[in-house]
Structure 1
Amino acid sequence: MRDPRNPGLYLGGRWSDRTDRLPVDDPATGERIGSVPAATGDDVDAAVGAARGAFDGWSAADPAERAAVLDRFADAMTARETELAHTVTAEMGAPRDFSLRVQVRLAVDVLRAQAALARTFPFEEAIPDGPPARVVREAAGVVAAITPWNYPLYQIAAKVGPALAAGCPVVLKPSGVAPLNAFLLAACADDAGLPPGLLSVVSGSGRVVGEALAAHPGVDMVSFTGSTGAGQHVMRTAAGTVKRVALELGGKSAAVALPDADLAAAVEATVASAFTNTGQTCTALTRLLVPAARYDEAVAAAVRAGGRYTVGDPAQPGDHLGPCASAAQRDTVVDYIRLGVKEGARVVVGGPETPDGLPAGLAGGHWVRPTVLAGAEAGMRVVREEIFGPVLCLLPYEDEEAALRLANDSDFGLSGAVWSQDPDRAAAFARRMRTGRVEINGGAFNLNAPTGGYKQSGLGRELGRWGLEEFCETKTLQGVR
C-alpha cells in the first residue's frame, strides 16, 4: 500500500492500481483529501474468484485456527489505531476522540469477541431426543459485505469478524463517502498475515460494484447496512440467485419516559443518543415520548441538555460534534428541520441556520446545528421518516397505552428505550415494543448481544453468537450422534 490516501484495489491479498478514481473529501472543510479506485465488473469477478479459491481451505480450518487469525488481525488494527482514527476523522468528520474510542476501538473489540466466540461456538451438536442425528453449522460461502459511511470501520468489523469466524471469505465494498479506512484495514490484513483471498476490497458506486456483488452467482450471501431503500434494491437484486441476505437498515427509534421516570435523566440520555456522531446513527433515539402532564418540564430539560452541545473542528480533542459526512446529508438534515417548522413543530434548540463561530478554515464544511423540535405530532414527516442527523422530536402522550401506540407507530423497529423508577415496569413495557433492541433506564451497549431490526429496519442480526450464526448454513446428519 504505497499511499493510504490514494490506494489501489485490494484483490485476493494483492494491491492493484487503477486509473479511474473517485474523489474523497474532508467534510469539515470540503477539500479533497484523496481518492479510491473505481472498480469494474471484472474487478468484482477477480475478487469473488479469489474468495472462492480461499473458501475450501478456510472453511475446513479448525475454528481455533480461524480465531488465532482474527486475534492477529485485531492486533494489527491496534498497532495502527491512531492512523485508522485519523483516517475516519478526515473522511467522515467524527471528532478524533470519538473516532479512536468508538470508530476504531469498538471495531477491534468486535474482532476479539468473535475470535473468542469461534473457540466455543457449537459448530456441531447432537440432537438429544429421537433417532440419532447431529446438527452441523457450516460456513455459508463467499460473503459480499456492503457497508455504510456513518460507522465505517465498526460496521466492517461487524460483518468481517463473524464471517471469518464462521469460515467465510469476504469481498468488501465500502461506502464511497468514507472508503479510505477500508483500504487501511486491508493493510492491517497484510500485517496480520491473513491468507490470500480471505479479504478483498473493491471500491466504487453502488450501481456498478454493489449491484455486481448482489447479483454475482459466485457470492453466496450479501450482508448490507444502509438505507431502507438501498436495502430493498439489494434484496431484489440478490433474489435472482436466491442468495442469503442480511440487512441492517433505517430507524426512527422512540425513547419512552413513563410517568414515574427520572425525566431529567431520560431527556439527557435521549438528547445524547440523538446527537452522537452528529445524529448519523441508525439506532439513534430520535423520538422522545413524555407524559403530557410533564411535557413543558421535558421541553425545558431538552433545552438545557441540547444547549450544551457545540460543533467544532473534528481534528481537535473534545466532546464537540463534527460535520455531517457529506454536503448531500447536510442538505437533507437542514431541509427536514425546515419541513418540521412548516409542519407546525417549533425549534427550541438549534435550527436550520449554519452554526456560528466556526473558524475560517471550516467555512466550506458540511455543518448543521444540533436541533430539538417541540410541538411534534405523530403524523409529521419529521416524526415518521429517518433524518439521519442531530434532530430530536418531543411528543406528548396521555397514558401508557397511548405511549405504546406512538412508539410502535413506525415503519421501523431497530432500537428503543424505556425509562421508569421501576425496572420491572420498564421491562414489561419494553417487551411490548416492536423493535429489535431496547435500552432500560440507559442500559449500556453489549457487543455480545444481538442487534437488528423489525419491520423495515432489516433482516437478521449482528454481534454475538447470533451474528456468527448469520454466516452459517445448517446441515443435519441423520443416523449420527
Structure 2
Amino acid sequence: MIGRALTRRERVRVRGSTVIDVINPATERVIGAVEPGDVHAAVAAARAAQPGWAALPRAERAAHLGALLDAMSAAAPELAALISAEMGAPLPVAKKVQVGLPLAVLRSMIDILEQPETAETVGNSTIHREPLGVVGAITPWNYPLHQTIAKLAPALAAGNTVVHKPSEVAPLSAARLAELVRQAGLPDGVYNVVHGYGDPTGAALAGHPGIDLISFTGSTAAGRKVAALAAANVTRVALELGGKSANVILPDADLAAAVKVGVGNCYLNSGQTCTAWSRMLVHESRHDEAVELAVAAAAKYTVGDPADPATRLGPLASAAQRDRVLGHIERGLADGATMAFGGGRVPDVGYYVAPVVFAGVDPDAAIAQEEIFGPVLSVISYRDEDDAVRIANSTRYGLAGAVWSASRERAVAVARRLRTGQVDINGGSFNPVAPFGGVGASGYGRELGTFGYEEFTTVKAIQL
C-alpha cells in the first residue's frame, strides 16, 4: 500500500484517465507521474498494522523513527532537488526549509519518545494518553515534505498508523518518502500513500469510516469540505488552513529592519506560505518611508530558474496558481491600490509572477482580506495602536503575525491583543517545537512539539 512514482515506461503503459502527470513549474515539462491509489485498501492496511505498531515500546518506535531520520538525512540533497523540481522552490530554500525543517520536526518527535512516559494524577484518577488509531493526512503542495512530516512524525510517535494523500501537484517527494520508510525498516502498513485528486481521493479519505482523525492542511474552502465529510462519521478533525498575517510595525521600531525582514517573510517560497506577513501595517507618518524601503528590498528578489544560485523567487507551483495570483493583482489595481513595485520581467517559460508591492492599500480591500499565496505585499497605514490592532484583526484569518517595537514589553502587549495562533516579536525566529496552528478561518488544532504530539492522542481516565 506504499505509493510510488511511476517510471517513464510505466507512465507510457498506463497513460489514460488514471495517470497524474507532475509538471516542473519552471520548465512546464512533465518530470514524473503517479497513479491514483485505493483508499479502502490503504485504510485496511493501516488498520491491520496499527495494533502491533501501538504495542511497541516507546524506545522501539523511537528507534524506527531514528532510522527514518538517518535515511532522510542521507537523502536530503536528493529530496531538496526533487521538491525544487516539482513545486519550484529555489534550491537554497528547498535545502534549508523544505528539507531542513522536517528533519528538525522528526528529531523533535524522537526526543519526545525518549522521555519517560508519565501519567497525570487527578484525584483518584490517572490520566493516560493513547493513540487514536488510523490517521488520514491530506497535505498541500507548498511545503510537501514538511507538511507530511508535521503529521506523520507525531502520529507515528503516538502509536497511530497513517494513510496519506499528498497534493497531486507535488506528489513525488511523498513517493520518495514512502521508499525511505521502507528502507528504514518500518513495518508494512504503518505509512500508506494514496495518490489522487481532492475529489474523489481526498474526499474518500476524509469520509472514510475507518479513519479516526483527519489532519488536513490546505485552503479554508477545502477545509470546510473535509470537516463536513468527516462529521458524518463523527471523525476528529485538525485543520491548518489559510492566513492573512499582519506585520505590525510600531512607530518606535527600527523601520529598516522591520521592512527588510517583513518583505523576506512575505516573499518566502514565492509567497506560497500560509504564515506569510502579506500585510505590512505602518504608522501613517511613516507609510511613504516604509514603501520606499519595501521597494528597495523587493528589487533584490531575483526571479528565475530555481536551480540558479542567484534566484530568490522561483515560479509558482502551477499555472492555476499563477493565474490566480495575477487575478488578485489586477483586482488590487482596480480597487485603487498603488503598485509601487511590480510588473517586472519574468522568464517566458514557467509559471512566474514578479514580486509586487502595493502602497496605500485600504484595509478592507480584497488584496488586504484574501489570501493571495503569491509574492504580493500590501502596505497599510494606521492612525494609532488601537487602529493597528483593529486592522490586524479585521480579516477572517488568524494564523500568524509580527510586531516590531523598540520596547519588547510594548511589542508583547500588542501581540497579546492580536487574534492569531503565533506572533513573532522583532523578527523572532520560527520555533519547530512550539505549537503551530490558528483560529477563525485559519483552522483549529495544533502541530509541532508536545502540542502536536498530543493532537494525535486521546486521553483515558482510570479511577483507582
Shift in Å at residue 243 of structure 1?
0.7
User: Does the residue aligned with 2:237 lie in a helix, a strand or coil?
Assistant: strand
Tell me if structure 2 keeps the 8 A contact 1:224–1:247. Answer: yes
Q: Does 1:418 align with 2:403?
A: yes
Whole-angstrom CA distance in 2 between matches of 1:69 and 1:151: 24
Tell me if structure 2 keeps the 8 A contact 1:27–1:92. Answer: yes
Tell me if structure 2 keeps the 8 A contact 1:123–1:137. Answer: no
2:136 aligned residue: 144
Q: Does 1:161 align with 2:127?
A: no
Tell me if structure 2 keeps the 8 A contact 1:286–1:391. Answer: yes
* Structure 2 residue corresponding to 1:461, chosen from 432, 446, 450: 446
Aligned residues: 458
User: Does the residue aligned with 1:311 lie in a helix, a strand or coil?
Assistant: coil
* Structure 2 residue corresponding to 1:307, chosen from 296, 299, 316: 299
Tell me if structure 2 keeps the 8 A contact 1:123–1:138. Answer: no
Query: How has the CA–CA distance of structure 1 residues 476 and 2 changed in structure 2, closer, same or farther, with 3 Å as cutoff?
Result: closer
Give the letter aligned to residue 41 of structure 2. A
Tell me if structure 2 keeps the 8 A contact 1:97–1:318. Answer: no
Whole-angstrom CA distance in 2 between matches of 1:385 and 1:374: 16
User: Does the residue aligned with 2:232 lie in a helix, a strand or coil?
Assistant: helix
2:211 aligned residue: 219
Give the letter aligned to residue 453 of structure 2. L
2:31 aligned residue: 33
* Structure 2 residue corresponding to 1:231, chosen from 200, 203, 223: 223
Q: Deviations over 1:413-464 (max 9, x none)?
A: 0000000000111001000100001000000011010110011101100000
Shift in Å at residue 65 of structure 1?
1.2
Tell me if structure 1 keeps the 8 A contact 2:4–2:34. Answer: no
1:11 aligned residue: none
Tell me if structure 1 keeps the 8 A contact 2:5–2:33. Answer: yes
User: Does the residue aligned with 1:476 lie in a helix, a strand or coil?
Assistant: strand
Shift in Å at residue 18 of structure 1?
6.6
Structure 1: give runs of 5+ residues left out of the alignment: 9-16
Q: Does 1:188 align with 2:173?
A: no
Q: Deviations over 1:296-325 (max 9, x none)?
A: 111111111111111111122245210000
Query: More displaced, 113-122 or 240-249?
Result: 113-122
Query: How has the CA–CA distance of structure 1 residues 242 and 7 changed in structure 2, closer, same or farther, with 3 Å as cutoff?
Result: farther
Shift in Å at residue 119 of structure 1?
2.0
Whole-angstrom CA distance in 1 between matches of 2:231 and 2:96: 38
Q: Deviations over 1:227-283 (max 9, x none)?
A: 000000000000000011000000000010011011111111110011010000000
Give the letter aligned to residue 111 of structure 1. L
| Aligned counterparts, 1:249-264, within 5 A | 249-264=241-256
2:259 aligned residue: 267
Query: How has the CA–CA distance of structure 1 residues 34 and 157 changed in structure 2, closer, same or farther, with 3 Å as cutoff?
Result: same
Tell me if structure 2 keeps the 8 A contact 1:18–1:38. Answer: no
1:341 aligned residue: 333
Shift in Å at residue 113 of structure 1?
0.8
Tell me if structure 2 keeps the 8 A contact 1:250–1:456. Answer: yes
Query: How has the CA–CA distance of structure 1 residues 176 and 113 changed in structure 2, closer, same or farther, with 3 Å as cutoff?
Result: same
1:278 aligned residue: 270
User: Does the residue aligned with 2:292 lie in a helix, a strand or coil?
Assistant: helix
User: Does the residue aligned with 2:278 lie in a helix, a strand or coil?
Assistant: strand
Q: Deviations over 1:5-25 (max 9, x none)?
A: 5269xxxxxxxx976311110
Percent of residue pairs identical: 52
Tell me if structure 1 keeps the 8 A contact 2:398–2:442. Answer: yes
Q: Deviations over 1:182-228 (max 9, x none)?
A: 00000100110011110010000111111111111111000000000
Give the letter aligned to residue 412 of structure 1. Y
Whole-angstrom CA distance in 1 between matches of 2:7 and 2:205: 21
Whole-angstrom CA distance in 2 between matches of 1:212 and 1:4: 20
Query: How has the CA–CA distance of structure 1 residues 336 and 433 changed in structure 2, closer, same or farther, with 3 Å as cutoff?
Result: same
Whole-angstrom CA distance in 1 between matches of 2:36 and 2:269: 28
Runs of 4+ in 1 over 6 A off after TM superposition: 1-4
Tell me if structure 1 keeps the 8 A contact 2:302–2:310. Answer: no
Whole-angstrom CA distance in 2 between matches of 1:177 and 1:291: 40
1:13 aligned residue: none
Whole-angstrom CA distance in 2 between matches of 1:347 and 1:62: 58
Whole-angstrom CA distance in 2 between matches of 1:364 and 1:201: 32
* Structure 2 residue corresponding to 1:244, chosen from 217, 220, 236: 236
Q: Does 1:431 align with 2:410?
A: no
Whole-angstrom CA distance in 1 between matches of 2:402 and 2:140: 24
Whole-angstrom CA distance in 2 between matches of 1:386 and 1:233: 18
| Aligned counterparts, 1:42-81, within 5 A | 43-81=38-76
Q: Does 1:364 align with 2:349?
A: yes
Q: TM-score, normalised by structure 1?
A: 0.93
Shift in Å at residue 364 of structure 1?
2.4
Shift in Å at residue 126 of structure 1?
2.4
* Structure 2 residue corresponding to 1:389, chosen from 374, 388, 391: 374
1:170 aligned residue: 162
Give the letter aligned to residue 27 of structure 1. P
Whole-angstrom CA distance in 1 between matches of 2:7 and 2:73: 21
Query: How has the CA–CA distance of structure 1 residues 209 and 78 changed in structure 2, closer, same or farther, with 3 Å as cutoff?
Result: same
Tell me if structure 1 keeps the 8 A contact 2:5–2:175. Answer: no
Give the letter aligned to residue 34 of structure 2. V
* Structure 2 residue corresponding to 1:21, chosen from 14, 19, 27: 19
Whole-angstrom CA distance in 2 between matches of 1:3 and 1:69: 20
User: Does the residue aligned with 2:114 lie in a helix, a strand or coil?
Assistant: helix
| Aligned counterparts, 1:290-301, within 5 A | 290-301=282-293
Whole-angstrom CA distance in 2 between matches of 1:456 and 1:29: 34
Give the letter aligned to residue 25 of structure 1. I
User: Does the residue aligned with 1:109 lie in a helix, a strand or coil?
Assistant: helix
| Aligned counterparts, 1:75-154, within 5 A | 75-120=70-115, 122=117, 124-127=119-122, 130=123, 132-154=124-146
Whole-angstrom CA distance in 1 between matches of 2:204 and 2:114: 34
Tell me if structure 2 keeps the 8 A contact 1:121–1:465. Answer: no
Whole-angstrom CA distance in 2 between matches of 1:364 and 1:30: 7
CA RMSD of aligned residues (A): 1.7
Tell me if structure 1 keeps the 8 A contact 2:3–2:193. Answer: no
Q: Does 1:448 align with 2:433?
A: yes
Shift in Å at residue 4 of structure 1?
7.0
Give the letter aligned to residue 174 of structure 2. A
Whole-angstrom CA distance in 1 between matches of 2:47 and 2:7: 24
